[in-house]
Amino acid sequence: MHIAIVGNIGAGKTTLTGLLAKNYGWEALYEAVDNNPYLEDFYGDMKRWSFNLQIYFLNSRFQQIVEIETNKRNVIQDRTIYEDAHIFADNLHEMGLMTSRDHDNYKAIFDNITSFIKPPDLLVYLRASVPTLVNNIQRRGREYEASIRIDYLSKLNEKYEAWIKNYSLGKLLILDKDKLDFTNSPEDLGTVIQAIEAEINGLF
């Protein structure tokens, strides 16, 4: 079983990934953030480093998927390869932060890679408003995220909503993070787990 948690920066993906992995006794696969050699540079100069960053994430995510499909283990994945292309790379291009040449090259690589992989069994989308995202980003205090712009988060949210609206690769569960505090509320976490199990077991 492969469950993927998707959502904007600060939506709570990493937290929920850990909580679900603990609940089910499954493996958690996290986004390669702390060891990413481009992330800090990217937030300092998005236009200069956008292509390098996205290629790094694309390769990292592909390695995760190969591991998932090879080992056949039950996993909870923090962010997917699809977000890299349909959300972040497209948004950077539209904002003028990635050249058309780099974007076309990136999307060609993405299309080639995804023709060989399987989508998640269940995609869990954490929908969160910009104020919720900003609050979470400030609370966790990652230095390299201090310069993230509000308009950047807003555009990413728009991209997420458009992508989720047309998502057709498998089962989809949408959770409203503005109304769910699964970090501090066992009741809210229980609600999330029930909703996930209903989707997995095809109850609705």
The question of whether 151 is a catalytic residue gets the answer no
* Number of other residues whose CB lies within 10 A of the CB of residue 46: 19
CA atoms within 13 A on the CB side of 11: 24
- Are the C-beta atoms of residues 2 and 29 closer than 8 Å to each other? no
Query: Hey, is 90 helix, strand or coil?
Result: helix
Residue of 78, 84, 90, 102 with catalytic role: 78
- Are the C-beta atoms of residues 51 and 93 closer than 8 Å to each other? no
Amino acid at 146: A
- Are the C-beta atoms of residues 134 and 150 closer than 8 Å to each other? yes
Active-site residue set: 78
